[in-house]
Amino acid sequence: MATAYANPSAGYRALSPEAELLLRETNHRCSNDLQLVVSLLALQSRKAASDETRQALIDTMERVAILARARASLKEERRPTLEAALRQVCEALQSQAEPRSIFLSLETASAVSGLSAVQVTTLTLIVNELATNAIKHAFAQDRSGRIRIVVRPHDSRSLTIIVDDDGLPFPEIASRTTGGLGLGLVRRLLESIGGVVILPANGSKCFEIRVPMASH
């Protein structure tokens, strides 16, 4: 997995020792609670009577697991960084991608600052959703290829994240205006942090996420 990382400390305003301790404790408690939810979902999936219900529970479990990993990465860091959280996503997805010769890359063109912990965890889940959908659908029929995740400032007040792949074509715009569960989840999550998703043009596979950066 190739990565190109920027310096995450640029533009960071230090927290007080008390605030930093509180943030670490909050992330620790959230991570533990999410791991408990993952375990409960795994238990229920094994008891599911139908394949459809079982798969729905597994999909939900995987989404919650990504949130748990993101929270765990925030617990280890002195400050929330999108780079660290997305690195966790890529490492988790490698178990699905590598056996099928799908290459994931994470590129951060320049330092990204001004994101809250809520924005970091939300964007982590969004990127996971788009990359997972690509692995499941764009690389069907034993197709190999590449998924690129690129993070860069859009302007002085907003951030752009690109999720692109060279897999099978995305459906025509007319057939994807409402979107399935994955795209609907992406839209709702982005709305919660004031962001938008720009869908690929016909013939393209490039999703563009734009989100405002929190004020310093």
**What is the chain's mean pLDDT, rounded?**
76
Helix (H, G, I), strand (E, B) or coil at 35: helix
Amino acid at 56: A
Distance separating alpha carbons of residues 120 and 118, to the nearest angstrom? 5
Query: What's the pTM?
Result: 0.69
Residue 27, pLDDT > 70, answer no
What pLDDT does residue 106 have?
93
Which of the pair, 36 or 78, is modelled with greater confidence? Answer: 36
What pLDDT does residue 70 have?
63
Instruction: Kindly give the residue spans of alpha helices, DSSP state H, lying in the chain.
Output: 17-47, 51-76, 82-97, 117-133, 181-192
Short-list 98, 88, 197, CA closest to 139: 98
What are 206's two structure tokens?
Answer: 């490039």
* HSE-CB of 144 using CA atoms within 13 angstroms: 6
Residue 26, pLDDT > 90, answer no
Distance separating alpha carbons of residues 109 and 128, to the nearest angstrom? 20
Are the beta carbons of 212 and 161 closer than 8 angstroms?
no
pLDDT digits (tens, 9 = 90+) for 113-168: 778 878 888 898 899 889 988 888 888 777 889 999 999 988 888 899 999 999 88
When pLDDT is cut at 50, 70 and 90, the band that residue 102 belongs to is very high
Are the beta carbons of 116 and 151 closer than 8 angstroms?
no
Helix (H, G, I), strand (E, B) or coil at 192: helix
Helix (H) or strand (E) holding 108: strand 102-108
Distance separating alpha carbons of residues 216 and 204, to the nearest angstrom? 35
* DSSP letters spanning 153-178: EEETTEEEEEEEE-SSPPPPGGG-SS
What pLDDT does residue 28 have?
57
What pLDDT does residue 129 have?
87
